[in-house]
Amino acid sequence: MRHALRLKITGTAGALFFTVIGLNAQDQTVVSTSQQVTPMVSKEKSYEVMAEIYAAHLKALPDYQIQLGFGTLEQANEIISQFQAIRESDSLFYPTKELKLTFESPTYRVRLQFFADRIEAEKAFADLRTLFPSSILLKPGSRTIN
């Protein structure tokens, strides 16, 4: 009694196809089955996994910020104008840092983001404190997904 079994694997368009051809030695019939195998991950689950990966990525990034000031929208716009005027006159004045306006009830806040470590943030804070007296150095962990 001989049994022969062949397994053929082919890949088409990212999916795997398995074809099994068997030969039964007693009645000499050929049995053939085909089925498509695809990953069993729901879209909702994959979005949750991607969100977790993104959140972990954000936590790993440096997130020291300096809040230059806060107040009404007009006061915040004035701070932004002052900062941009300094940046235009001095090309080395934090050229790679993003200035962000946020609203946290009841005030608008102007923040300079993100510094690699505490030492870099403290050096920048010492310089900016003379130009923006109401500035504060924010603690890490203030980065949020938005």
3-class secondary structure, 118: helix
Q: Are residues 68 and 120 in the same domain?
A: yes
Total domains, the chain:
2
List the CATH number of the domain containing 123. 3.30.70.1070
Angle at 90 between CA 86 and CA 91, to 5 degrees: 120
Do 71 and 27 lie in one domain? The reply is no
- The 10 Å CB-count burial string (b at 16+, else e) for 76-99 is beebbeebeeeeeeeeebbeebee
Condensed to tens digits (0 to 9), the pLDDT of residues 16-51 reads 444 444 444 444 544 445 556 555 556 667 888 888
pTM: 0.56
Angstrom distance (rounded) from CA 117 to CA 122? 9
Point out the residues of the chain with pLDDT beneath 50: 1-27, 29-32, 145-146
Domain of residue 8: give its range: 4-37
Q: Do residues 116 and 62 touch, judged by C-beta distance below 8 A?
A: yes
Q: Which two tokens stand for residue 73?
A: 């929208």
